[in-house]
Amino acid sequence: MKRTLLSFLAIAAMSATAMAADIKPAIIYDLGGKFDKSFNEAAYVGAEKFKTETGIDYRDFEIANDAQREQALRRFAKDGNNPIVMAGFSWAASLEKVAADYPETDFAIIDMVVDAPNVRSVVYKEQEGSFLVGVMAAKASETGTVSFIGGMDIPLIRKFACGYKGGVLATNPDAKVLEAMTGTTPDAWNDPVKGGEITKSQIDQGSDVVYAAAGGTGIGVLQAAADAGKLGIGVDSNQNGLQPGKVLTSMLKRVDVAVYNAFMDAKDDKFSYGFSSLGLAEDGVDYAMDEHNADLVTDEMKAAVEAAKADIIAGKITVHDYMSDNACPY
Amino acid sequence: MEYFDTLIVILQSTIRVSVPLILAALAGLYSERAGIFDIGLEGKMLAAAFAGGAAASVFGSAFIGLCAAVFVSVCLAIVHGFASITQRGNQIVSGVAINFIALGATVILGQAWFRQGGRTPQLRDGERFTTVELPFAAELADIPVLGSIYSNLLSGHFLLTYLAFALVPFTWWVLYRTRFGLRLRAVGENPGAVDTAGISVTWMRYRAVICCGILCGVAGAYLSMAMTAGFVKGMTAGKGFIALAALIFAKWKPVNVMFACLLFGFLDAMSIRMQGNPLPFIGMVPVQFMQALPYLLTVILLAGFIGKAIPPRAGGVPYVKER
């Protein structure tokens, strides 16, 4: 009897370790780094949430340059990590190669579509979230001029700009929207000095609400806007707390949800493939309200934004997707 | 009048973005005039920016941040000096090494100390430099043209900005009107003659390299503690190399260095301002063109217009007493 019990225990213990070994989730961040207070940090938050809820540890890695991409990914796949989540569109090229070599491993990529049988691609309708902050910016602006600062000049960032412009002009057709990109190389994601300089230039041209979709550069943008007594709008994560009382709101991109879901689905053994596009209706994008911006956002602004949100979800407003035709009609 | 206001705004921006270039290029000037080529300006600035941001946030004082920035930059400069003066190593290799060390070490240390992905914590007011208004700036603002130039263009900058511009005539004076400057230039042209006169070439060159370190330190502190509030990895974004280009462009002369840096700064400010706005007479210019302009200009002007840029004759050559 005792022996049977012991063997039962042993089997149980073994199967428990087997279960835990079954899933070895991993996440790899993009160049901005884990604590960029923006895109990558949102991914980190999702992974941490999974860890606290399930107790399953995960591996993560921050690449230091582009050359490490394929190497890091291959290494993780070789070590038997499964699933592997990649944050950032720049992973696509490496993933296409590695996914074919490791058909048993599940991959998930955020912000880009990779067409492979073992890859889940998650993209966001950033234009919808940007539309909402555009509505709020137009309401908050006193000068009638608002502006946008992007990081690297790529279609994805133009998508933010286009949605924002749409939201501003839908609310105030006479408003002027200034647009600028920080640069054309990946350096543009980490250049707060230039970001601040562009902000000052735009403020001189009359802008009083500046929306930054520029990774680490955005920190300089929000700082310069706050220094000048104007309002900034954060992106990806909730950046309202970076300059309390000077950040109107943040366009939330729920990267954390995508990471969490990928890990969770793998754990529950129901990892799905193909691509999904998360918008307002799927809670993939949103705008941020917290104690830091409560005094800035009036009830009227909030009502306007909520109305726009409801209209978009109901399909009464369709926000143009820049990436569908590489043009912005607004 | 609207064009005039725009011009003032662009010039104001020009001054802001030129300051780190001027400081770094003057730093390079001291070093290269003494015969030590320094392509590690970028690395020293980056390390200084990090040290400044870190120290200012830990000790809560902008002044301590500036001291830390200068200290770290001088340390790296001495490393460069040790490699290329005492050990007679290749100056280019040593400079490149310093750039790489700074790029990696700032992120690793930042991550280890502050856990914010290689950034330093955001500096609050009092931990960073603030702008100063010149006397009577507000009163004189209403005078047409001159008032606007005084109160908008000249007033309202950081103390470090005024320091940078004051350093230009100061450097000229040091180089051309003092004994130290004469010897410094001589050491870069003909170290053998200096040695014959009974002056230590090694000590002279070390002093030049230390001057370089101090100025790079100030440039770094300006980036992380004046223009922004905190260090972000790789925030120098190639400014050290642009400063180097400006130095060559200016033929290693202090006043020319200032104008070269202002020109590069002006092009930068223009490219920022012109994004999305058409230029008068020309129309829409692609941003990429404006961003490439400083580099294009360097090549074109160096190739044909300003004549040959002749570096100090003993530049890059380690001094050996006896052959």
Q: Where are the domains of chain A?
A: 2-125+256-278, 126-253+286-325
The CA-atom distances, in angstroms, between A152 and each of A76, A156, A218, B177, B299 are 28, 9, 12, 48, 26
- Which residue, among B6, B5, B121, B106, has the nearest Cα to B51 in the 3D structure? B106
**Interface size, chain A vs chain B, as Cβ–Cβ contacts under 8 Å:** 84
Structure tokens at B308: 């040959």
* Residue of A180, A192, A200 with shortest CB distance to B232: A192
Q: Is B17 on the interface with A (CB under 8 A)?
A: yes
The CATH T-level fold of domain A126-253+286-325 is Rossmann fold (3.40.50)
Q: For residue B191, which amino acid is it?
A: P
What pLDDT, on a 0 to 100 scale, did the predictor assign at position B167?
96
Q: Looking at the whole model, is its pTM more than 0.95?
A: no
Q: Is A273 exposed, middle or buried (0-12, 13-18, 19+ CB in 10 A)?
A: middle
Q: How many Cβ atoms from other residues are within 10 Å of residue B307's Cβ? A: 9
Is the CB of B122 less than 8 angstroms away from the CB of A223? yes
Residue type, A259: V
B230 reaches A (C-beta below 8 A) = yes
10 Å CB burial of residue B211 (0-12, 13-18, 19+) is: buried
Contact B48, B229 (CB under 8 A): no
Give the distance from CA A108 to its chain's centroid. 14
- For B236-246, letters b (16+ CB in 10 Å) and e give bbebbbbbbbb
**Regions of chain A short of the pLDDT cut 70:** 1-22
Angle between helices B2-33 and B201-221 (to 10 degrees): 150
Rounded to the nearest angstrom, the minimum Cα separation between B234 and chain A is 7
Look at residues B251, B185, B265, B206 and name the one whose alpha carbon lies nearest to residue B21: B265
Q: With 0-12 CB in 10 A as exposed, 13-18 as middle and 19+ as buried, what is B178?
A: exposed
Q: By the 8 A CB rule, do B254 and B18 touch?
A: no
Contacts with B237 from chain A: Cβ below 8 Å: 187, 190-191, 193-194
Indicate the fold that domain A2-125+256-278 takes in CATH.
Rossmann fold (3.40.50)
Strand-by-strand arrangement of the A285-287 sheet: A176-183, A145-152, A209-213, A231-236, A247-253, A285-287
For residue range A157-179, what is the model confidence (pLDDT) as tens digits?
Answer: 999 999 999 999 999 999 999 99
Residues of A in contact with B268 (CB under 8 A): 197
Token digits for A133? 């902050």
Task: Output the pLDDT for position A2.
Answer: 55
Are the C-beta atoms of A196 and A221 separated by less than 8 Å? yes
Query: In chain B, which ranges are continuous DSSP H helix?
Result: 2-33, 41-59, 62-81, 91-114, 137-140, 146-148, 159-177, 179-189, 191-196, 201-221, 239-249, 254-274, 287-300
CA atoms within 13 A on the CB side of A25: 28
Q: Pinpoint the alpha helices (H) of chain A.
A: 2-22, 39-54, 68-78, 92-101, 126-140, 155-171, 192-204, 217-227, 255-267, 299-314, 322-325
User: Tokens representing A52?
Assistant: 């606290």
Q: Give yes or no for a contact between A234 and A250, defined as CB atoms under 8 angstroms apart.
A: yes
Give the span between the Cα atoms of A110 and B277, in whole angstroms.
Answer: 34
Q: Rounded distance, CA A294 to CA A212, Å?
A: 20
Return d(Cα A6, Cα A12) in angstroms, integer.
10
Cβ pair A220:B115 closer than 8 A: no
**B111: number of Cβ within 10 Å:** 18
- Enclosing H/E stretch for B254: helix B254-274
pLDDT for the residue B1: 61
Tokens of A327: 């043009």
Q: Which residue from B9, B118, B235 is facing A33, i.e. has the nearest CB?
A: B118
DSSP A82: B
Strands, E assignment, chain B: 131-132, 157-158
Find where tokens 């609400």 sit. A209
pLDDT at position B154 is 85
CB proximity B225 to A under 8 Å: no
User: What does the pLDDT profile of chain B (323 residues) look like in tens digits?
Assistant: 677 888 888 899 999 999 999 999 999 999 999 999 999 999 999 999 999 999 999 999 999 999 999 999 999 999 999 999 999 999 999 999 999 999 989 988 988 888 777 788 888 888 888 888 888 777 777 777 787 788 778 888 899 999 999 999 999 999 999 999 999 999 999 999 999 999 999 999 999 999 999 999 999 999 999 988 889 888 888 899 989 988 988 889 999 999 999 998 988 888 888 776 766 666 677 777 777 776 787 778 777 777 777 888 888 888 888 75
Domains A2-125+256-278 and A126-253+286-325 share a fold: yes
- Cis peptide leading into residue A83 (ω within 30°): yes
Separation of alpha carbons B55 and B66, rounded Å = 8
Of the candidates A179, A204, A219, the beta carbon closest to that of B232 is on A219
Domains and CATH numbers, chain B: 2-126+136-305 (1.10.3470)
Which one of A190, A200, A201 has the shortest CB-CB distance to B233? A190
Q: What is the ipTM of this complex?
A: 0.85
Residue of A nearest to B8 (CA): A204
Write out the two tokens for A189: 């994601």
Q: How big is chain B, counted in residues?
A: 323
